[in-house]
């Protein structure tokens, strides 16, 4: 399959990861990803926070739209078996479909609560490797996103994670420096930008071409190491 972008050991593929992954020859891979885990899905049949008119005011101001695939429950089963080291966010939304093993990671997003704040105070990731659960502390909520080397708080994707968090995830995965970091739900490419310094091989897959373009532009710019 022809890459959408390829430079300095980092590759982007445009397509559905369930179709792209079988075509790739992968060895010594760790998955670090923030999939569309169904925050737009409501069992009552009503729209979720980010669907239709439910897109947040801040997201509309940035020109963002609902995330592709986020209007239905996420099934992570296609990641099991082939990959032994998997770290994915949104675990509290699909925990009944996770294996009875591994560990949980938490991201504490809570700062001083504002009256308008309807966002979650914490997010959870699941890691397939056994070990102690860990917490990452960084305020990153709505328009109050902390601006500490995070592109002045600007986000290209409505559910974009901060780079500091994704650096931490790569470290928590315990992967070796020679392993390939794979993000099958790449979004705007934050995980891949974390693989620039120190240099790592990385692969991103994204179903929406506009985010492939954004990620390629981000990777083409100089990214300073933390």
Residue in the block written with tokens 């559910």: 159
C-alpha span between 14 and 2 (Å, rounded)? 9
- Structurally, the chain folds into a number of domains equal to 1
Give percent above pLDDT 90 in the chain.
58
Query: Which pLDDT band holds residue 69 (cuts at 50, 70, 90)?
Result: low
CB 215 within 8 A of CB 204: yes
**Residue 226 placed within a domain:** no
Domain-located, residue 53: yes
Q: Kindly state whether residue 10 falls inside one of the protein's structural domains.
A: yes
Kindly state the percentage of the chain with pLDDT values over 70: 72
pLDDT over 80 (residue 149): no
Dist. CA 171–CA 176, nearest whole Å: 9
Q: What average pLDDT does the segment 195-210 reach?
A: 94
Residue 181: inside a domain: yes
**pLDDT value at residue 197:** 86
Query: Do the domain assignments include residue 38?
Result: yes
Q: Provide the residue range defining the domain that includes 123.
A: 5-220
Examine the pLDDT at 164 and tell me if it is beyond 80: yes
Do the strands 103-108 and 122-127 form a parallel or antiparallel pair, or are they unpaired? antiparallel
CA distance 108 to 122: 5
Q: For residues 95-110, give the mean pLDDT.
A: 93
Assign 140 a pLDDT band (cuts: 50, 70, 90).
confident
Query: What does the block give as tokens for 19?
Result: 């179709």
Model pLDDT, residue 7: 95
What is the per-residue pLDDT across 31-53, written as a single tens digit (0 to 9) for each? 999 999 765 554 444 444 444 43
Q: Establish if 125 belongs to a structural domain.
A: yes
Task: Inform me whether the pLDDT recorded for 207 exceeds 60.
Answer: yes
In a domain, 225, yes or no: no
In a domain, 54, yes or no: yes
- In this structure, what CATH number is given to the domain that contains residue 63? 3.40.50.150
Q: How high is the pLDDT of residue 152?
A: 52
Spatial contact of 86 and 31, defined as CB atoms under 8 Å apart: yes
Mean pLDDT, the chain, rounded, equals: 82
pLDDT of residue 144: 53
């Amino acid at each position: 399959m022809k890459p959408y972008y390829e430079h300095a050991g980092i590759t982007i593929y445009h397509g559905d990861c369930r179709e792209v992954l079988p075509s790739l020859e992968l060895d010594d891979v760790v998955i670090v990803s923030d999939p569309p885990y169904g925050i737009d899905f409501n069992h009552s049949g009503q729209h979720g926070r980010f669907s239709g008119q439910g897109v947040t005011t801040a997201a509309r101001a940035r020109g963002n739209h609902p995330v592709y695939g986020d209007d239905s429950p996420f099934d992570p089963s296609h990641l099991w078996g082939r990959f032994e080291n998997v770290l994915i966010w949104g675990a509290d939304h699909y925990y009944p479909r996770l294996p009875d093993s591994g560990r949980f990671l938490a991201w504490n997003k809570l700062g001083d609560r504002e009256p308008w704040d309807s966002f979650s105070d914490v997010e959870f990731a699941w890691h397939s490797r056994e070990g102690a659960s860990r917490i990452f502390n960084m305020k990153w909520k709505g328009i109050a996103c902390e601006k500490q080397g995070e592109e002045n708080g600007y986000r290209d994707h409505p559910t974009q994670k901060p780079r500091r968090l994704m650096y931490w995830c790569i470290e928590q995965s315990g992967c070796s420096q020679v392993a390939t970091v794979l993000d099958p739900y790449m979004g705007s490419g934050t995980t891949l930008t974390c693989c620039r310094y120190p240099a790592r091989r990385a692969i991103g897959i994204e179903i929406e071409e506009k985010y492939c373009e954004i990620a390629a532009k981000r990777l083409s710019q100089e990214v300073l190491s933390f």
